[in-house]
Amino acid sequence: MALTNLFRRLRGGGTHVVIVTNHLVSSPTFQATVAQTTHSIDTLFIGDEVHTLGAAKFVANKPEAFARRLGLSATPERQYDPDGTEEIFAYFGDPVYEFGLDRAIGFCLTPYNYYVHAATLDDDEVERFERLSQRIGVAMAREANEQGDQDPDLLKRLRIQRRRIIETARTKISLLRKVLDERNPRSLDGALIYATAKDPRQFDSISSLLNSLDIRWAPVTQETTARPNLLATRLAAFSDGGYQVLLAKKVLDEGVDIPRIREAFIVASSTVEREWIQRRGRVLRRHRDKPYALIHDFLALPPAQLIAHDTTNVKKIVRTEFNRAYTFAKHARNATGEKTVFADLERIRTAYQPDSRTSSLLQRGGDFYISPSTPRGSKW
């Protein structure tokens, strides 16, 4: 009834705004109310984070009664979902305005330094990685030979399992400790650490690490965001310096504005480009005490010695990690100069060249690479 009355008031002139969820806007009841009460009235539907509207429920129940439509997103294309992407552009139309990161930095976003750190899987993880790679090789061969008795989703599941080893690698925790030691834990201020949502043990391990280093930190999880007062209290304490670090999973990917974040440690990244672009965005919000931000990216890689015998797209996993790193690096303040992030990436990349015999980096399980330009102490 409240929505019906609001839409009817539009006939009296003026501007009225209704904020609804994706779930509600896809509801036949809501759409019927809009159609019945806004006939012949100029209406505008604004879809924020429009990439989410490529999901099946919205696609099956698109609201057609709105006279005008505007979609907003830093990442409008749905990676790995071309059909959903096509539906978004069919509904909203082609892009009419783009504002790239190269233009936004220094204008409405904060410049940033980018540091790449890498670790190889430990021996147990290497064993599981190789075992899955062998199964993937068999599944690929059977698929190529069109053997119909194979589970059609087997290859996808195996690749997801292998990718999860990379994202949840235990060596990332040891690498994080080394980076924090280099960074000097006491100097941390306004930092965000991203953990994977796919394995709670990583979150717990980082929690224990922060406690052991006497770092003042607070978790931001689904349980936190489900309690608005608790979330507001924690974010206020963080903004006032009461907490040095927020430890989060996916819940801070979108829709949360915390300008006080000055430094990000991306311990876990998936292959979804939208996710890591959104995560970078959390640290680039402008703030009076933040002339620039720091981003630390943690690459987990199979040992370089495995690449020489690769027959199951191990190289593709390595390329995926590098693609993210190069995407982040090209807009960084330290992309050029004497100690550049591109120099770090070249050292790591060289170690993974099949004919590389000069590099000793990242050859075996449990090896580390920490950017030699990692800053120490307070940077602001």
Provide DSSP, 251-303: GGSSS---TT--EEEE----S-HHHHHHHHHHH-B--TT-SSEEEEEEEEE--
Q: What is the pLDDT of residue 148?
A: 59
Say which residue the tokens 């980018």 belong to: 114
- The CA-atom distances, in angstroms, between 356 and each of 117, 308, 369 are 20, 10, 17
**DSSP H or E segment with residue 229:** helix 228-239
Domains of the chain, first to last:
2-98 (no CATH), 104-122+166-369 (3.40.50.300)
Q: What radius of gyration do the chain's Cα atoms show?
A: 24
**DSSP H or E segment with residue 348:** helix 341-351
Average pLDDT over the chain reads 86
Q: 162-210 pLDDT, tens per residue?
A: 888 888 899 999 999 999 999 999 999 999 999 988 888 999 999 999 9
Of the listed ranges 109-113, 296-300, 327-331, 333-337, the least confidently predicted one is 333-337
Rounded to whole angstroms, the Cα distance separating 177 from 172 reads: 9
Question: pTM for this structure?
Answer: 0.82
Rounded to whole angstroms, the Cα distance separating 134 from 140 reads: 10
State which amino acid sits at residue 3. L
Percent share of the chain, pLDDT over 70: 91
